[in-house]
Amino acid sequence: MLSAGRYAELSTALADRGHALLTSPERYRTAHKLPGWYDVFAPLTPHSAWLPLAPGGAVDPEELARLAERLGGAGPAVVKDWVKSRKHEWSEACYVPDLADTARLASVVARFVQLQGAYLTGGVVLRAYEPYRPVGEARVWWLDGEPALIGPHPDTPGLTPDPDLSEVASAVRQLACRFITTDLALHEDGRWRVVEAGDAQVSGLPRTTEAKPLFTALTTAAAR
């Protein structure tokens, strides 16, 4: 997964050789990092707040408490950076049962930052926890505002939900990034929610998913 800085270097190197990427460095950064896409998807994704932080940095517990207040100051939340979470270390570095427990919040964030190490991207993000039905997530690959492929999330390749894309499609077109993914989960109340968005060039495709429709759409777009 290329960082936004390395992607910009790749773009420059290709431009020096007379080639242009279909996704510009600016659009890559927009889709790759949560602060770039959050405002557009805000009605469709968990309420979030973030704090810039360099790798290895320390977060002031009082500053974290103020960040939690932006999410109401109470209730469950998850911790991530601007790109990734540590969901496989759920209890120690991802999930906060109650933001009002500021000591627990500080502990989870500190462990998250420690485990991310040099790969911490952007800073710390708090996202309100939402309960989803156990039907699996859908990963939708969007090309020029249209769904080019709908498949399972790589974490649950055996589950293939069929999401309603009507609201999501409008937000994707507003974001105006040529090639992105959205991971969708079904909320307990029946709404499809955007769990994550990202640049599709660095999004995983399950081995069990037929890739031909996606690559056919890409070669057609490149020809245009």
Whether this model's pTM surpasses 0.75 = yes
- Give residue 29's domain range: 25-44+132-223
Alpha carbon distance, N-terminus to C-terminus of the chain: 27
Distance CA 26, CA 83 (A): 16
Q: Say if residue 144 is in the same domain as residue 39.
A: yes
Give the end of a domain, one of 108, 128, 148: 128
87 DSSP 8-state letter: G
Specify the pLDDT at position 224: 72
For residue 218, what are its two tokens? 């890409």
Specify the pLDDT at position 117: 97
Distance CA 7, CA 152 (A): 27
Q: Say if residue 211 is in the same domain as residue 141.
A: yes
Specify the pLDDT at position 74: 97
Q: Say if residue 210 is in the same domain as residue 148.
A: yes
- Among residues 147, 71, 59, 145, the alpha carbon closest in space to that of 109 is found at 59
For residue 154, what are its two tokens? 């790589």
Specify the pLDDT at position 137: 96
One-letter amino acid at 157 equals: P
CATH code for the domain in which residue 166 is found: 3.30.470.20
130 DSSP 8-state letter: -
Q: Say if residue 136 is in the same domain as residue 211.
A: yes
Please report whether residue 3 resides in a domain: no
What does the buried/exposed string (b/e) look like for 4-13 if buried means 16 or more CB atoms within 10 Å of the residue's CB?
Answer: beebbeebee
Q: Which residues of the chain have pLDDT under 50?
A: none
Specify the pLDDT at position 222: 76
Specify the pLDDT at position 208: 87
- pLDDT digit string (tens) for 193-222? 999 999 999 999 988 899 999 999 999 887
Specify the pLDDT at position 13: 98
Specify the pLDDT at position 221: 85
